[in-house]
Amino acid sequence: MTRPPSIDHLVEKPTRSVRQQVADALREAIVSGVLPPGERLRQEQLCTLFGVSPGPLREAFRQLESEGLIEHFSNRGSFVLDISEEELNQVLIPVRLVLEKEAFKRTAQQLSEEDVFRLDRYITDMETGAATGSIGLINEADHRFHEYVVAASGLRHTLQLWRSVSPRLRVQFARLAPRHERLSEIVDEHRVLLEALRSGKPDAIDSALELHISQSARDLLNRQSGPRIDATGGAK
């Protein structure tokens, strides 16, 4: 199968508008837990913080609302949404699994050494995050890893659908990651994913994705309270 000439335009961010800059900053604050579920987004404070007028901020709110990260209530304002276990198990995980199985297998058919280099670099970033106890760094590198593979498949509509559920999955990642006994478990799962990609074997890819996306999430949800992660990524 012929590889698309370039996938950079699907991964790298173009020059961003004011609205997009505000939306990106708020999204990162939500997915990292800086803005927790139920937090009210106060327009005047945020306009001052970002140095913008109400117009771009309202546009950013609408974008985040379409992504399922916030909700606006008449006469009350906008609030950060929570993610239920039911939504995660019945919608987000199954949808992501279907999309990534198809995309990963397509990418495996045309995997280049440049792809392997890029993906390995994201795993190295995860290792750094695990070593320093930085869940935010792991979350970002995890997102980049999966987005790169889905984009490399050349399946444009699959990428669009994947990006539509990705923000809410990143929110859940930030909440579940501390429940790992070792943050390095996340790194190990991505090493298995990369090896499955390099093998080109559909069964290996399916198994690696099911372990990483589905089984790990169920295991972590079953842990009522996660262990405290120390600076080396180990549990205390």
Q: How far apart are CA 115 and CA 95, in angstroms?
A: 24
Phi, psi (5° rounding) for residue 235?
-90, 150
72-99, pLDDT tens digit by residue?
A: 898 889 999 888 888 888 888 999 999 9
Please report the sign of the dihedral spanned by the C-alpha atoms of residue 7, residue 98, residue 100, residue 168. Answer: positive
Most confident of 6-15, 126-135, 175-184, 192-201: 192-201
Q: How far apart are CA 41 and CA 77, in angstroms?
A: 7
CA atoms within a 13 Å half-sphere pointing along the CA-CB vector of 52: 17
pLDDT score at 88: 84
Quote the strand ranges of the chain, DSSP E. 40-41, 70-73, 77-80
Q: Going from the N-terminus, what domains does the chain have, and what CATH number goes with each?
A: 11-80 (1.10.10.10), 85-221 (1.20.120.530)
Mean pLDDT score across all residues of the chain: 85
214-232, pLDDT tens digit by residue?
A: 877 777 677 644 443 333 3
91-139, pLDDT tens digit by residue?
A: 889 999 999 999 999 999 999 999 999 999 999 999 999 999 998 899 8
Higher pLDDT, 233 or 45: 45
